[in-house]
Amino acid sequence: MSFRIVVLAKQVPDTRNVGKDAMKADGTVNRAALPAIFNPEDLNALELALEMKDKMKGAEVIIVTMGPSRAAEVIREAMYRGADAGYLVADRKLAGSDTLATSYALSLAVKKLFPCDVVVAGRQAIDGDTAQVGPQTAEKLNIPQITYAEELLDISEDGVTIKRRLERGTEVVKSAFPVLVTVHSSAPECRPRNAKLTMKYKHAKTVSEFQNDDSDYIAMRNIRPYLCISEWTAANLNADDNLLGLSGSPTKVKEIENVVLTHKDASVLSSSDDDINLLMKELIASHVIG
Amino acid sequence: MENYYSDNPSLKHHLNNPEMKRIVDLRENNYVEKDKFDFAPLDFEDAMDSYDKVVEIIGEICAETLAPAAEDTDHNGPQLINNEVHYAKGTALSLEKLNDAGLFGIALPRKYGGLNLSIVPYVMAAEIVSRADAAFANIWGLQDCAETILEFASEDQKERFLPRVCAGETMAMDLTEPDAGSDLQAVQLKATQNEKGEWYLNGVKRFITNGDADIALVLARSEEGTKDGRGLSLFIYDRKSNAVKVRRIENKLGIKGSPTCELVFENAPAELLGERRMGLIKYVMSLMNGARLGVGAQSVGICEAAYREALKYAHEREQFGKAIIQFPAVYEILSVMQAKTEASRSLLYETARMVDIYKCYNAISEERKLEPEERNIQRSYNKKADMLTPILKLMSSEYCNQNAYDAIQIFGGTGYMKDFPVERIYRDARITTIYEGTSQLQVVAAIRGVGNGQILSIIKEYEEREIPVEFSSLREKLIALTEQYVKSVATAQALENADAWDFLGRRMVEMAANIIMAYLLLFDAARNDYFVNILKVFMNMIEAQNMSSARFIENFKADELDYYRK
């Protein structure tokens, strides 16, 4: 039995360490000024996918990322942790895509990998924080979706059971395959890079990356086909160019504003039992605790 | 993401020592395994790239998982439940992460599931782990016992036990007993054979680090009626047999995350490792050399941790209107801490390279007969490694205690509280001068090399090495220090008194150790500017120290021993 799990991952600028030059004057992210990293929640997604692989005999994890050629690093990172293969969706025509155009391209890529059983993605990417790409991709694939996954409770040939992290508690849901799952940061953190897998896959490259390699490495790749990371262009996906990139993106950034959060109504409490009781009740009622 | 490898340029420097070409070529034996294992290197550059990547993984796990868990592990420690050890939560998590990352069996051959890296990156891993959590380093570092199985066990035993170690099972070496500490010849744990020839162990072991390990190497008396080391053999005990009880876990000053156990063997089935009667004289000696190198790595890791904590705090802490690092009294302490860290690190990797080379030849000699020239190299490196190992153990362990002491001094009253890691580092450091042979016993091991000139010949070899001209004045100083050392040794020998020789031993060994470390730092400085000031600070320190020792030896008369005798 084969069981195919596709992970959608994104290389993002590390917005957790933002300096002054993080934004360009036109309101877009200055990618050159920030180190490129594996989107954190996509790592949670990869872990969930690898847990599924551990539990399903003969399962494979395939990673798909859309981005410039350096985004192949995300695919290698995933391979070091246990992914079996990767596809890079790269084309100039994709530049400037919003979530609608991105989910269109990704859904075409996933379709090329059909039949697949599960598609897993991070809830959202730290550069846009929209949480839209996963759900939109599911809609375009016309498959059910489980968002905000926190824990894989069970998986078998019949389907998958997942605990979701909601604003005020958790919910357990079950779905048949195929299904798309988006994963929350409260899910288990990703396993570390494995030494043997790192040594095995460090030579994995896309066609455009290995053009400059010497003949020894090219010979090695002929013997080890798993070292080739496939690249797909818009044409490979049979995409309608009008639905890609800027022309396929109805979202336009009008303006970026720097918002400083300030606290509002503060209340002063004494240390009396009554006041503490009151505070506790208020905190429980608002689900801050409990 | 924090990373204890990439934040420390000194490590990359040592990993890329020019000698590595020779070491890796030997270890990979013409890179034959590239067709057999998909993770084996194609050539030297590929191997070095893999080393770098693997140590980087370790650096990340140490900074992100081990170090944050260290405090909890120290406070809560392992528990004894139903005569079994249950690790602290942080310990279990760290083991799991390192195992997920495939970081057990780093230096073991690929055919047993290992990574077949050279000893140098393995030792580096141990150093980095120790910087994060010296207590955890013991549990993880005991996989080193597998080296003894690899070298001396039967092929069948290797095939059964080594893959388990590579899959993350832990190990222990059960040597010490209530009446056999430094003097292992007194070991009494009994090994008896039944009529089928199967071995059973009975008795008590004490102070056993990670005593409830999955696989243990046990020193036991197999020859009834004997009293010395020649009646002892080494055994492999498999925890699956369930015949050893942990009676207690010691409550220790430091390394509290590492369970130190008292063990009761009750008809515990065990397998003989290698030949009978060779347990202490051959196998444990090899085991101990590995363990001493391990303590060296641990000590350097502690040195680094103490220095980093102190440096950071000295920048942050303001008194009298400025950061305290601006006061000469403070920056001197910090520079000396750094110099001790780097000097002992240079000695650590020099020793590791020597061990690496002779062990590679050992491995080759199992496949084919060595050429006479190869045998000479093997022997000379083995001798040098055996000479440098006690010096490394002595100096690095003393330095890490000094650094831990100084780190608390930089912190002042704050450092005396449990709020910062320095107090844990201070307690953890304390054991390093004691276990795997006390500092005093390292002097006993090293003093032979002082007496027979072996240490001097190592120094002379360094003296001959080519160096850039700008370092020649420093070398002149080192030549003068060497002459002073030779003179002190001659003075001590002229006393013709064995007790006086032992009495002065530590001073002579330390004089030599200082010169050796200074030469190594000089070679490092010649390759990398980072070491230039460190070398100068170290030179200032050792010139004064050696002068003091030389003066003491010069003034000493044998009959003065009476002042000291108690």
**Statement: residue A212 has pLDDT above 80:** no
Q: Do A196 and B39 touch (CB under 8 A)?
A: yes
Taking the CA of residue B201 and the nearest CA in chain A, the distance in Å comes to: 38
Does residue B496 sit in helix, strand or coil? Answer: coil
Q: At B57, list the tokens.
A: 């993984």
Q: Do B53 and A191 touch (CB under 8 A)?
A: no
Q: At B281, list the tokens.
A: 């004289």
**Statement: residue A43 has pLDDT above 70:** yes
**Statement: residue A1 has pLDDT above 60:** no
Q: Do A195 and B42 touch (CB under 8 A)?
A: no
Residue B51 and residue B39: Cα distance in Å, rounded? Answer: 12
pLDDT value at position A222? 80
> Out of A253-257, B204-208, B228-232, B438-442, which region has the weakest mean confidence (pLDDT)?
A253-257
pLDDT band at A28 (very low <50, low <70, confident <90, very high): low
Cβ-contact B358, B345 below 8 angstroms: no
pLDDT band at A26 (very low <50, low <70, confident <90, very high): low
**Statement: residue B478 has pLDDT above 80:** yes
Q: What is the mean pLDDT of residues B359-380?
A: 92
Measure Cα distances from A220 to A194, B39, B51 in Å.
21, 12, 20
Query: How much of chain B is helix, strand and coil, in % rounded to 5?
Result: 65, 10, 20
> Out of A10-24, B115-129, B298-312, which region has the weakest mean confidence (pLDDT)?
A10-24
Q: What is the mean pLDDT of residues B334-338?
A: 98
- Walk me through the domains of chain A, giving residue ranges and CATH numbers: 3-248 (3.40.50.620)
pLDDT value at position B206? 96
Q: What is the mean pLDDT of residues B62-77?
A: 94
**Statement: residue A71 has pLDDT above 90:** yes
Q: pLDDT (tens digit, 9 = 90+) per residue, B159-179?
A: 999 999 999 999 999 999 999
Query: What is the number of residues in chain A?
Result: 290
Q: Return the residue in A39, A84, A196, A217 with the most chain B beta carbons within 10 A, the one to mutate for interface testing.
A: A196
Q: Do B101 and A194 touch (CB under 8 A)?
A: yes
Closest-CA residue of chain B to A220: B42
- B464 among known catalytic residues: no
pLDDT value at position A168? 87
Q: Is B50 on the interface with A (CB under 8 A)?
A: yes
* Nearest one of B242, B247, B239, B255 to B206, comparing CA atoms: B247
- Which residues in B72-93 are b (16+ Cβ under 10 Å) and which e? ebbeebbebeeeebebbebbeb
pLDDT band at B529 (very low <50, low <70, confident <90, very high): very high
Active-site residue, from B28, B127, B342, B436:
B436
Residue B481 and residue B475: Cα distance in Å, rounded? Answer: 10
| Pairing label, strands B199-209, B171-174 | unpaired
Q: What residues in B contact A79, CB-CB < 8 Å?
A: none
**CB-nearest partner of A192 from B41, B97, B106:** B97
Q: pLDDT (tens digit, 9 = 90+) per residue, B18-69?
A: 999 999 999 998 899 998 999 999 999 999 999 999 999 999 999 999 999 9
Residue A44 and residue A40: Cα distance in Å, rounded? Answer: 7
Interface of B with A in 175-214 (CB under 8 A): none
pLDDT value at position A27? 64
DSSP annotation of A194: P
Q: Which residue has the tokens 């494979």?
A: A60
Average pLDDT score over chain A: 89
Q: Is A199 on the interface with B (CB under 8 A)?
A: yes
pLDDT band at B276 (very low <50, low <70, confident <90, very high): very high
Residue A259 and residue A77: Cα distance in Å, rounded? Answer: 34
Residue B356 and residue B433: Cα distance in Å, rounded? Answer: 24
**Statement: residue A31 has pLDDT above 80:** no
Q: Which residue has the tokens 């930089």?
A: B410
Residue B107 and residue B115: Cα distance in Å, rounded? Answer: 6
Taking the CA of residue A123 and the nearest CA in chain B, the distance in Å comes to: 21
Give the helix/strand (H/E) hosting A5: strand A3-9
pLDDT value at position A290? 66
What ipTM, to 2 d.p.? Answer: 0.92
| CA atoms within a 13 Å half-sphere pointing along the CA-CB vector of B529 | 0
- Counting one residue from chain A and one from chain B, the pairs whose CB atoms sit within 8 A come to 48
Q: At B183, list the tokens.
A: 């003097």
**CB-nearest partner of B42 from A195, A196, A220:** A220
Q: What burial class does residue B31 get, using C-beta atoms within 10 Å of its C-beta: 0-12 exposed, 13-18 middle, 19+ buried?
A: middle
* Nearest one of B172, B142, B136 to B61, comparing CA atoms: B136
Q: What is the mean pLDDT of residues B374-396?
A: 96
Q: What is the mean pLDDT of residues B186-190?
A: 95
Q: pLDDT (tens digit, 9 = 90+) per residue, A230-281?
A: 999 999 999 999 999 888 899 887 877 777 777 777 778 888 899 889 888 8
Average pLDDT score over chain B: 96
Residue B120 and residue B136: Cα distance in Å, rounded? Answer: 20
pLDDT band at B256 (very low <50, low <70, confident <90, very high): very high
Q: Do A198 and B53 touch (CB under 8 A)?
A: yes
Taking the CA of residue A257 and the nearest CA in chain B, the distance in Å comes to: 29
pLDDT value at position B392? 98
Cβ-contact A156, A109 below 8 angstroms: no
**Statement: residue B552 has pLDDT above 80:** yes
E strand spans, A67-101 = 85-89
Interface of B with A in 93-112 (CB under 8 A): 97, 100-103, 106
Q: What is the mean pLDDT of residues B229-258?
A: 96
pLDDT value at position B58? 97
Q: What is the mean pLDDT of residues B298-311?
A: 98
**Statement: residue A215 has pLDDT above 80:** no
pLDDT value at position A258? 74
Q: What residues in A contact B50, CB-CB < 8 Å?
A: 198-199, 202
Q: pLDDT (tens digit, 9 = 90+) per residue, B286-299?
A: 888 899 999 999 99
DSSP annotation of B235: E
**B168 Cβ contact list (under 8 Å, min separation 6):** B95, B98, B99, B104
pLDDT value at position A45? 97
DSSP code per residue over B57-97: HHHHHIIIIIHHHHHHHHHH--EEETTEEE--HHHHHHHHH
- Walk me through the domains of chain B, giving residue ranges and CATH numbers: 9-166+281-433 (1.20.140.10), 171-275 (2.40.110.10), 442-564 (1.20.120.470)
Q: What are phi and psi of B214, to 5 degrees?
A: -65, -40
**Statement: residue A58 has pLDDT above 60:** yes
pLDDT value at position A151? 97
pLDDT value at position A216? 72
**Statement: residue B350 has pLDDT above 90:** yes
**Statement: residue B278 has pLDDT above 70:** yes
Residue B210 and residue B165: Cα distance in Å, rounded? Answer: 14
pLDDT value at position B491? 98
